[in-house]
Each structure stands twice: as structure tokens, then as C-alpha cells.
Amino acid sequence: MIAVPAREAELVAQAQAGSAEAFGRLVQERQQAVRAFLRRVCPDRAEADDLAQETFLAAWSQIGRLRPGVSVRTWLCGIAWRKARTWARGRARSARRDREWLDTRAQSFAAAEEDRAAVAKAMAALPLDQRAAVALCLAADWSHAEAAEALGLPLGTIKSHVQRGRAKLMEVLGAQP
Amino acid sequence: MTADRQEARLRAAFAADEPPARDYVFTAEVMQRVARRRLQISLLMLAPPMLAAMAVLWSVAPTVETVAADLMGGLAPAIAVTTATLFLTLAGLRLLRPRSA
């Protein structure tokens, strides 16, 4: 289990007692991690931020169920992951539209942003589980164990997802000038 | 291209998509949605007692109506005298109030 800072545990206890202020501080402190994860899992940034808001709304409803000692970041990204999977199932039919949008985006970017566009496009092409593992372990420097806990996947699966995903991204960057 | 250089480019590409560490607009939007949800829950929780109160009032309405009509009939002169007294007292106090220059 991941160590939880005392201040965070205190904020959680206050939020569980009904303090909106404490919950607001948790949102402020954890929004970056949740939004960064969702932006890498969902190709559309606005959609990712909307999912992040829904994640925090669900977290507010479920905060009473958060067990002591569980990392808020891991718990929130677990909720975000479930939201993203539901979203991805609904969007499977419009996957082609996403690819077209990413193509357009890639073409319109200046040379300095080519890497970012190429990585975003390569990320969108990865299977969802692999993309999530890469987003947490490569982009956000999470440990494999923490990612496994948040995504509800076995540790070995996370390791292989990260390895394969990394290889694909490196291949894309290697092809870039 | 070396592996280190590729690694650095990958990190830079990820960092470019990173949201800000503090985003008050995002937090405010979330808290606004939380407040709306709290209000919805409060209203939903108020609904059953309100419905119960309405049902009780509806069931006792004929009795209350009869009692109120009897009381009002007997108390009407007293209410009229009290209202008139109150009106005259307030008007008198207003007329006698010291005026500023």
C-alpha cells in the first residue's frame, strides 16, 4: 500500500465529515494528476477535462467509502479509469473520427510541437489498457504497483503494457526527424 | 538518434500536455457541480417528509376547517378591535415621533 501524507489523511477525514472546503482542497491538489492521466487516455482534451470533473463529482459521492491509508491519487485515478473505460466503449463507433481529428491536429502543429502531436497520435493508437499504463508509469512516473492498484490490473500485465507501449512510442519518435 | 535523446523527447512531449499544478477555474467548476448535487440531494431528502405532511394535512383538512370556522365566528369582533387598536397606536406613535431639522 502507498504511504498517505498526514495532511492528506486529515483533509480526507474532514471531507468525509462533510467539509466542502476540505474536499475543494483535495480537488485543487489532485486535479493535475487526474487531468493529466485522462488527457493521455482520451484524445480529446475537452472531453478529458469533462471526465475529470465527473471523476471528482463521483469521488465526492463516494468519499465515505475511501478506506484509511489508501492514497487519494490512486483512488481518484481508479475512478477516472472506470469513467474513461465507459467513455471509450461509447466512443468506439466514432474512433475513425478521432483518428481524422488527430491527423488534422498533427498537420496543423508547428515543427516544435511535432513530437507532442506524434506522441499523442501514437498514444491514441495504443489499446486502452496499454495507454493507461503508459500514461501513469511513463508520463506521470507512477510505480508499477501503484498503477496496478489504480487500474485494477495484475502487476505483470502493467509491466508488459508499459514495455510494449514504450517501444511503440520510441519507434514513433525514432521515425521523426 | 541515441536512446537518451529519444527518452528526453518523450518526456518533453508528455510534459507539454501537463495541466497546471493549480487551476482555480477547474476547482471552482467542480465545486459548483458538487454544490448543485448537494442541493438536489437535499431536495430529494425533503420530498418524503413534505409528502407525508401533505397527506396528514389532507386527511385532517375537514376537521380543521370546521374548528377554524367556529373559532373565527366567535373571535371576529376581538380580532377587529385588536387590529384597530394596533393601527391607531402605530399611527399615533408615527405622528408623535420627534422630527429632525
pLDDT (tens place) for every residue of chain A, 177 residues total: 556 678 889 999 999 999 999 999 999 999 999 999 999 998 888 999 999 999 999 999 999 999 888 899 999 999 999 999 999 887 766 665 555 555 555 554 554 478 888 888 899 999 999 999 999 999 999 999 999 999 999 999 999 999 999 999 988 887 655
In three-state secondary structure terms, A161 is helix
Domain spans in chain B, listed from the N-terminal domain onward: 3-96
Query: Could you tell me the residue range of the domain that residue A75 belongs to?
Result: 6-175
CA dihedral A122, A124, A127, A130 (to 10 degrees): 70
Rounded distance, CA B101 to CA B80, Å? 38
A113-to-A103, A161, B14, B18, B90 alpha-carbon distances in Å:
14, 26, 11, 14, 78
Q: Is B9 on the interface with A (CB under 8 A)?
A: yes
- Is A169 within the bounds of a domain? yes
Q: What is the CATH number of the domain that holds A123?
A: 1.10.1740.10
Domain count, chain A: 1
CA-based nearest residue in chain B for residue A168:
B10
Contacts of A61 in chain B (CB under 8 A): 37
Given a cut of 70, the residues of chain B with pLDDT beneath it are: 1, 98-101
Q: Is the pTM of this model over 0.80?
A: no
A40 and B26 within 8 Å at the Cβ level: the answer is no
Task: Enumerate the residues of chain A whose CB falls inside 8 A of the CB of residue B26.
Answer: 27, 31, 35, 49, 52-53
Question: Does A1 reside within a domain?
Answer: no
Whole-number pLDDT of residue A88: 87
